[in-house]
Structure 1
Amino acid sequence: MGRFQVVGATVVDGSGRDPADVTIAVEDGRIAQPGASGERLEADGLTMTPGLIDAHAHLGLSSPIEPQFSFRLSAAEIAADIFATAGAALDAGFTTVRDTGGIDGGVVTAIAKGKVRGPRVLSCGPVQCQTGGHGYYGAEWEPTELWSSHHIPGLCALSMQSGNANELRGNVREAFRRGASFLKLCVTGGVVSAHDQLTDTQFTVEEIAVAVQEAAARNTYVTVHAHNNEGIRNAVEAGVRCVEHGTDLDEPTAALMAARGVTLVPTFAVVEQLLRDSAGTGLNESIRDRVLGVRERMAEALAVAKEAGLRIGLGSDLIGPGQDRRGEELRLRAELETPMEALVAATKTNAEILGLSGEVGVIAPGRQADFVLWNGNPLDNPQLFSDRDNAVVVVQAGRIVKDLR
């Protein structure tokens, strides 16, 4: 469809404004001014939102995790799982994702060329980790230098290990060579970790600053995996632009983030996923014990961040094969704030975080025509976001990529 008009939908444009019953025209892949010409897409009774954006995705972790990184799965099976997850994200109404570690640039290219179905993908490539830190899944007996042999060039590469600032500089340059558009570092321990605790800090301020310097040289930024305040403060002092998770964020640290213009991306859906079925992710059942209490603390951190006036994005952090309920993140956030706030976080705010403001995230003339028609009104019933079958029509860059009408 070159030019078409969506008629009869209730439009929630992503800006935070009240819904409106207006006709939306699409021409050459972008939102255009309505006119008399073009086919009509009848959408009576449906609600239109911008295409959703997941600011914390892991397409490269679409297979059972421990089998994947212990060479028990073929490259073909890993690839099949990655591309199935990419298609499922699109079907759930997510037209853009920021992949925060696990895929190689080859996946981004294959999706961008239309060889497989999937959202627009911005990727950091492999996560940058300190030796043995969060993001390392090798066996305890395995020498660290063998970890890179777990990478499958062109497909997946979970993490790179750095023992000092010079190694980190080399690794981030290699990540950019492979096509990364931003960097992610792990600066604290993690929930899904074998070798650390949530209270651990990882990398020094001086080491993190090396990554910030290399990112700035390419006009991009660093985001960090961080659960505790000391790790967050180290990262902010080093000049990072974004913090993922922020589980134990306190008021002084939030104030520091606000003063430096640092964004927070909380991740609730993965906590629900691990509490519900940690074994289903391909991880040891003991991981479940590490998750207990995280949801409540992350909810408190969200309230602290809102009070401090931080810009707050939205990310699911889903891992393993069970990534078919990506929209659950909006439902969970809608329970802690309003459904409209959750939607704006997943559209307008996430577009700003990804550097795509002005292109996607809001339905407005000149923007790319990324939008979803929902079966019902998710502002009245946020549960609709959780089931991808409720995304009746998905349009990406003016192309209808899903249509259940």
Structure 2
Amino acid sequence: MTLLLTGATVLDGLGNDPVRGGAVRIEDDRIGAVHDRGPVGDADVLDLGGLTLLPGLIDAHVHIGHSSETRAVLNMELSVAERAADIFRTLRQTLDAGFTAVRDCGGIDHGVLRTVGRGLVPGPRIWASASPLVQGGGHGHLGSPFLPPDATFHFRVRGLTAVGRISDGCDEVRKAARECFRQGASFLKMAVTGGVVSLSDSLDDTQFTVEEIAAAVAEAHARHTYVTVHAHNVAGVRNAVGAGVECVEHGTGIDEATAAMMAERGVSLVPTLAIAKVLEENFDQHGLPEQIRCRVGDTLQGMTDALLAARAAGVPIGSGSDLIGPNQNRRGLEIALKARVLGAREAIMSATSVNARIMRVADRIGSVESGKLADLIAVDFDPLAEPELFDDPDRVVLVVKGGRIVKDTRK
């Protein structure tokens, strides 16, 4: 199948100047040529005049498995069927919003990856960590304190969802990491500080020792992959960077010296501004315990300051929304918020080519280049002039995944 997209202004995701009236030729599931119409022949021609064509967007920090109201899940108020339906709805919403790839940082089992991969439900390409590694009583240990610490979480559903895997000590970390890979993980996620959505820690706490983090890194390297860490304070970030991780999520509190350490060791940062903004505006809609409200606090400003410090040091800045709950329809807000800090061009790159590099898949996705997978979107606005409109999924009027049109609302 050959598809020829013509007439659009093309942004390649690499930071180059837009090309007006560009043409992108798709051969089967790959981009065959860029800015070269070639013979039309039997190609299906789509006139995208007046639109802007970009690489499919990438959200490098999602929690697809947490697509239901948190309190309802913890209280066993939802059936497995309802939770599955919520997950499949979120997958469809994510794709419709122009995100053709995601990195799930904890919450889904390989059953969901297989379901999407087989085309049984629509959704983006997924790279997942399966169960995040968490220490007893740390961020991600959501079990009731009235249950024994080794009790299997009653809200885990094999084949569908994955929850924090408790691992205390290097041997348990190794065992947990290996089980994550058995669940279909393509990288490891570890919580090395307290978190916002936590019940028994604070943002200032550090979690896991350097030796425990290094054990996870060793297991990841044995599988030719990497570890990324949830971190909300400098001490936790420094522990993780010293242990050999490749990426930091959130990064609240990163200062100039820590950013320099990250840059020296090739560590990336994925700030998650969107979830802080959404919780700040609509906390009651997420079904979270009331004691978490005060934790949201100034994390948005803290991540913004960290982002600026990291950027100045030359740290690669990715893009992740970290949305949770049943209304994960504002992934583009992350790009809009980053554009206020970095400018529209860098914000778009963070959600395309930079994310692809962080995820080690830049040879496949993240830019409009010949040979890449044909994951493309068209929007009905100028992304460089109005990046805030990424926050409106309806402004994404065409989505192509693997050379197939999966959304087309062009007028």
TM-score interval, smaller chain: over 0.9
Q: Does 2:15 correspond to 1:12?
A: no
What is the letter of the counterpart of residue 8 of structure 1?
G
Q: Which residue of 2 aligns with 1:27?
A: 27
Shift of 1:151: 1.4
Q: Which ranges of structure 1 fall in alignment gaps of 5 or more residues?
A: none
Deviating more after overlay: 141-150 vs 385-394: 141-150
Give the drift of 1:129: 0.1
Q: Root-mean-square deviation (CA), in Å?
A: 0.9
CA distance in 2 between partners of 1:15 and 1:327 (Å): 18
Aligned to 1:9, the other structure's residue is in SS state strand
SS in 2 for 1:32: strand
Aligned to 1:302: 307
Whether the aligned pair in 2 keeps the contact of 1:278 and 1:285 (CA below 8 Å) is no
Equivalent residue in structure 1 for 2:58, among 49, 53, 57: 53
Secondary structure of 1:103's aligned partner? coil
CA contact (8 A) 1:52 1:95 kept: yes
User: Which moved further from structure 2: 292-301 or 120-129?
Assistant: 292-301
How far apart, CA to CA, are the structure 2 residues paired with 1:5 and 1:288?
49
- What is the Cα deviation at residue 286 of structure 1? 2.9
- Counterparts in 2 of 1:2-401, with a 5 A limit? 2-21=1-20, 22-33=22-33, 34-37=37-40, 38-401=43-406
Aligned residue identity for 2:27: E
Local SS of the residue matching 1:297:
helix
Aligned equivalents of 1:72 and 1:39: distance in 2?
A: 48
Q: Report SS of the residue matched to 2:321.
A: coil
Matched-pair contact (CA < 8 Å) for 1:148–1:160: no
Give the conservation status (yes or no) of the 8 Å contact 1:54–1:314. Answer: yes
**Contact (CA 8 Å) 1:182, 1:222: kept in 2 or not?**
yes
Output one character per residue of 1:149-170: Cα deviation in whole Å (capped at 9) or x when no partner.
4310000012101122111111
Asked if structure 1 preserves the Cα contact closer than 8 Å seen for 2:353 and 2:365, the reply is yes
Q: CA deviation at 1:358?
A: 1.6
Distance 2:155 2:390 in 1: 35
SS state of the match for residue 209, structure 1?
Answer: helix
**Distance in 1 separating the partners of 2:176 and 2:333:** 34
Instruction: Give 3-state SS (helix, strand or coil) of 2:397's partner.
Output: strand
Q: How many residues align?
A: 404
User: Sequence identity of aligned pairs in percent?
Assistant: 50
**Contact 1:48-1:372 within 8 A present in 2 as well:** yes
The CA deviation string for residues 123-148 of structure 1, in whole angstroms up to 9 with x for no partner, is 00011000111001111211111144
Mapped partners of 1:254, 1:135: distance in 2 = 26
Alpha-carbon separation, structure 1, partners of 2:103 and 2:301:
25
Q: 1:204 offset after TM fit, Å?
A: 0.1
In 2: Cα distance, 1:44 partner to 1:354 partner: 32
Mapped partners of 1:18, 1:141: distance in 2: 58
The worse-fitting range, judged by mean Cα deviation, of 143-152 and 19-28 is: 143-152
Tell me the distance in 2 between the aligned counterparts of 1:160 and 1:279: 28
Tell me the CA shift for residue 382 of structure 1: 0.9
Secondary structure, counterpart of 2:305 in structure 1: helix
Q: Distance in 2 between matches of 1:111 and 1:42?
A: 29
- 1:320 match: secondary structure: coil
Moved over 6 A (4+): none
Q: If the length of structure 2 is used for normalisation, what is the TM-score?
A: 0.97
Q: Tell me how far apart the structure 2 counterparts of residues 167 and 338 of structure 1 sit (CA, whole Å).
A: 43
Distance 2:374 2:286 in 1: 34
Deviation at 1:368, TM superposition (A): 0.7
8 Å contact from structure 1 (residues 184, 222) kept in 2: yes
Where 1:59 maps in the other structure, the secondary structure is: coil
Instruction: Give, as a single letter, the amino acid of the residue that structure 2 aligns with 1:179.
Output: G
Could you tell me the TM-score, scaled by structure 1's length?
A: 0.98
Query: How far does residue 110 in structure 1 lie from its aligned partner after superposition?
Result: 0.4
Does the aligned pair in 2 maintain the 1:104–1:157 contact within 8 Å? yes
Per-residue deviation, 1:212? 0.3
The one-letter code of the counterpart of 1:93 is G
Unaligned 5+ residue runs, structure 2? Answer: none
| Distance in 2 separating the partners of 1:387 and 1:286 | 31
What is the DSSP-based 3-state SS (H/G/I as helix, E as strand, rest coil) of the residue aligned with 2:290? Answer: coil
8 Å CA contact 1:269, 1:328 repeated in 2? yes
